[in-house]
Structure 1
């Protein structure tokens, strides 16, 4: 996608004047593969702790060595440039090692959400053309991988013993039987070599580093093709924003799932680039996160609003010392101003900076400055190298002046190459050289961006996208359902909650509990409706007979944020 800002030496954008000290709009994106960050950091800080997980500590020299051996092992399995390798695991040390190993082998990473049900996994595997998948030795995940081995083109699964040391040779359990020969391989066997991988020539502008799916499926999912340049650029952009981060000195907590694009870039890639210590949490609990902050004294925390809500409401939060934290970053969903205020007051944290991004932008587009100029309620300023424009909703191409509402559009080196095998969808969102985000907002005279509504109907549950149409399709599969509307309803804890309204077929009878039980293994936990409303009367419709979500929400007295 063209980047018009590249032609301007010193652009006079209003947001540049409000940047924090030492942050410049101009950036240089080196022509390098994404894994070069690890190569350089391991050379510069070989004995610096890189990963803390499960009571084990691994320095950058060790991580780099394991990445090289795993990459060579992948190449021996036929994984080469153009191949797709899936990562299917919760947060662990292997998340980092195998991510960079796949890249170093020349392949493309495909991140899979471990809470997805079989149906969604199969659709993503087929659409992405994944060749090999990496998982951990957790029986529920192994059973899902077994399904993928039997029902998709995936021919090989690498199993990592999550509770073992990365260099352990223990094989912790018997793996499920599958029809494909030699389908399973333990991580210790993958790295049973001492050589380096064959060098792979990477074109950063064209070669896909990560195929990141935008969320739950809607029939055919959309995989955003993020090139090496896209991800190198966004990592550098965030590194500029973290202007007070000292290379080889600071640390960060990885509490967000690393398979999510937010954590992948802002937490993992950024930490590797800056030589930070990364404390990986397998899952989020308030006591464990606060104890980690207390004992390890990290410089940075990145989380979604629901995590800040949970911490702000924790009755013992005043007992913990947050003085080591330079700032906290919030993304994935709108951060309520009251939550930000209460959290900062109760923790005495320096600042919670709210940002905004989307999968298609690797993901960060805007962020509040790390300075007193930050504005509550705003998603911040366009980050270095990025132009944000508000485009008319009437014609879809006219830029609007400050204060007027329209669609938020952006350009920048972090904008995706396109959607995988979906040129039509790519053309729809990349008109006139801009990425159309589908969000409605405005920019004030100082360059701060605000979101006021969403063009799309997606529901944000704790920072994760839930697609109503997908949930509706599953509900419609129940024989008693005649009509169905799924929508997001404001929720104090998770931002939004999934609600479903259904009308039963004449003569049919089903209870809410029975319907929820029927849906339980067909939807992921984040997609499962928090509340199901069974109505006797038909659901509201437009003049042409289409179900009207807007009219339904009006009837229910629900106001979307």
Structure 2
């Protein structure tokens, strides 16, 4: 271990070589029930569900899924916001022996079609909401999707009839057909919960989640995350907090889960880590700054994982000083670089350290962490998380390993690293080095004390409010516009989102021009909301390389000059 320079920078009580739990995910819930059966596991719209009650619901869902044919090798989709349905179905699918496929409501129809076919999803769970159900109903008949299980927000609330009436009056509910292609969530769970136990499996080899992540080709790839990957990631987080005295106390914390659970960050840090901690997980279906601030204060939230845009919204909330946020113990920012100004203002406001880390879908998503104690390193994303090894390889010659302090492509290895991309042998060959390290596509370096700094990306990817956004996806959609001859999309700094896409467009000869709002209207059905360009510039010519390929380097330089003025 002495060759790992970062170990000397670890805070007291945290060990890089700590024993990490690698087990089947339902064991996390079973262990929590043994310790905290009567303690609240979930809170939704004022209704509390204890750990024991959650286990009963999960077992009923597991039997329901098995009756529908779910077993090892069967993939079930989740197209859900943060409601108890997500937690119940996630563990129910795994307990039945199946694999979870996460779907994002932000995805365009083309992406949903691709994921259904690529992941081999025949069953999917969603809600009877206008913002959700119609997107999946449209997939019945022309994709392999065969059956949709439909739940309702009202059935998980403390006042089902009143909530249902309010949602109906607001026009938010859909009528669900009564046919063989549909099953209600209540029907799924209408059983005695006596599921058939699955034969003991190797958690390092058993696929738990297919978590789709974009690619420069425009079509997302399914990262294969095993049970061991995700339980190891939980153990890594626990170990980084193994301080003396302890900051978090098992069985006594409250986690505010407003990040979407279909995203790997929330899945691991909010839900899985929350259950491992024996916490009460307070679920919000979306980020509403007023609702978040009120719950942080009134429900004495102690753990709040977020992204920079959320922390920025909280500190700029007009009445923020009227709320007592002193219960907060642990706040973590991920998904995008955290502006120093936001960090300082949030810590001054709450008295709680706002930590930062780096991770990816492919790393479950642990990677680096900022120690709770000790001085912070400006510009650093922290130290390697327990159990993870880092190396940096030459961008020009991947066979060459760079010396410490020299820049190179960051490569990682550890128990949390995905087993590969689903049905993508060529992508896997490119994604891993000969000695098994995952190539992240991020360029950075490690200083003499083991702190990591990310300086660039080899992959053409933007981070917008924590979501991976690929310029080529946007470019292909813009090219469908009849007036567009050429387009290049780059990322520009955005104080709220971290980055936003900007489109540079050359029009066809004689074509009528258009503005940003007209472009957005054209793209509405072609790309997701998180991918929508937030700026546009029409030019007579776009920069090109000597061989005629569109070049983005000059566009980035132009934008940098504008900001410097």
Taking structure 2 as the reference length, the TM-score comes to 0.93
Hey, what's the Cα distance between the residues in 1 that align with 2:481 and 2:405? 47
**Residue 523 of structure 1, aligned match among 521, 524, 527:** 527
What per-residue deviation string (whole Å, max 9, x for no partner) do you get for residues 110-160 of structure 1?
111112121111111111111211001102311111112222111111111
Which residue does the alignment assign to 1:481?
Answer: 484
Which residue does the alignment assign to 1:85?
Answer: 76
Distance 1:402 1:263, change over 3 A: same
Secondary structure of 1:518's aligned partner: helix
Shift of 1:166: 7.1
Shift of 1:504: 1.2
Which residue does the alignment assign to 2:406?
Answer: 404
What per-residue deviation string (whole Å, max 9, x for no partner) do you get for residues 441-472 of structure 1?
11111111111111112111111111110111
Which residue does the alignment assign to 1:21?
Answer: 12
Hey, what's the Cα distance between the residues in 1 that align with 2:280 and 2:11? 24
**Residue 427 of structure 2, aligned match among 425, 428, 433:** 425
Do 1:466 and 1:526's aligned partners in 2 also have CA atoms closer than 8 Å? yes
Which residue does the alignment assign to 1:189?
Answer: 187
What per-residue deviation string (whole Å, max 9, x for no partner) do you get for residues 347-392 of structure 1?
222x111000001100110010111233232111101101112222
Distance 1:168 1:102, change over 3 A: farther
Do 1:49 and 1:58's aligned partners in 2 also have CA atoms closer than 8 Å? yes
Unaligned residue ranges in structure 2 (runs of 5+): none
Q: Does 1:514 align with 2:518?
A: yes
Secondary structure of 1:542's aligned partner: coil
Which residue does the alignment assign to 2:93?
Answer: 102
Hey, what's the Cα distance between the residues in 1 that align with 2:518 and 2:303? 45
Hey, what's the Cα distance between the residues in 2 that align with 1:555 and 1:139? 42
Shift of 1:164: 2.0
Hey, what's the Cα distance between the residues in 1 that align with 2:450 and 2:98? 39
Distance 1:404 1:217, change over 3 A: closer
Secondary structure of 2:42's aligned partner: strand
Unaligned residue ranges in structure 1 (runs of 5+): 1-9
What per-residue deviation string (whole Å, max 9, x for no partner) do you get for residues 160-218 of structure 1?
1112237999898764559xx51111111001101321111322111110000113783
Shift of 1:11: 4.4
Hey, what's the Cα distance between the residues in 2 that align with 1:65 and 1:466? 39
Hey, what's the Cα distance between the residues in 2 that align with 1:473 and 1:135? 29
Question: How is 1:99-498 mapped onto 2 (pairs within 5 angstroms)?
Answer: 99-165=90-156, 175-177=175-177, 182-201=180-199, 202-215=201-214, 218-243=217-242, 244=246, 245-349=248-352, 351-432=353-434, 433-498=436-501
What per-residue deviation string (whole Å, max 9, x for no partner) do you get for residues 30-55 of structure 1?
45211110011112211010001111
Shift of 1:552: 2.2
Hey, what's the Cα distance between the residues in 1 that align with 2:374 and 2:532? 40
Hey, what's the Cα distance between the residues in 2 that align with 1:207 and 1:123? 24
Distance 1:312 1:140, change over 3 A: closer
What per-residue deviation string (whole Å, max 9, x for no partner) do you get for residues 465-513 of structure 1?
1111011111111122110111111011110111111111112114124
Aligned length in residues: 548
Secondary structure of 1:194's aligned partner: coil
Do 1:120 and 1:216's aligned partners in 2 also have CA atoms closer than 8 Å? no
Shift of 1:284: 1.1
Do 1:85 and 1:133's aligned partners in 2 also have CA atoms closer than 8 Å? yes
Distance 1:438 1:52, change over 3 A: same
Shift of 1:256: 0.8
Hey, what's the Cα distance between the residues in 2 that align with 1:141 and 1:501? 32
What per-residue deviation string (whole Å, max 9, x for no partner) do you get for residues 514-549 of structure 1?
3321112222111111122222x1211100110001
Secondary structure of 2:155's aligned partner: coil
Hey, what's the Cα distance between the residues in 1 that align with 2:454 and 2:317? 29
Secondary structure of 2:486's aligned partner: strand
Do 1:168 and 1:188's aligned partners in 2 also have CA atoms closer than 8 Å? no
Hey, what's the Cα distance between the residues in 1 that align with 2:130 and 2:107? 15
Do 2:46 and 2:158's aligned partners in 1 also have CA atoms closer than 8 Å? no
Distance 1:303 1:482, change over 3 A: same
Hey, what's the Cα distance between the residues in 2 that align with 1:468 and 1:558? 21
Distance 1:501 1:31, change over 3 A: closer
Do 1:226 and 1:417's aligned partners in 2 also have CA atoms closer than 8 Å? yes
Distance 1:556 1:15, change over 3 A: closer
Taking structure 1 as the reference length, the TM-score comes to 0.94
What per-residue deviation string (whole Å, max 9, x for no partner) do you get for residues 68-118 of structure 1?
000100000011111111110111111111111111111111111112121
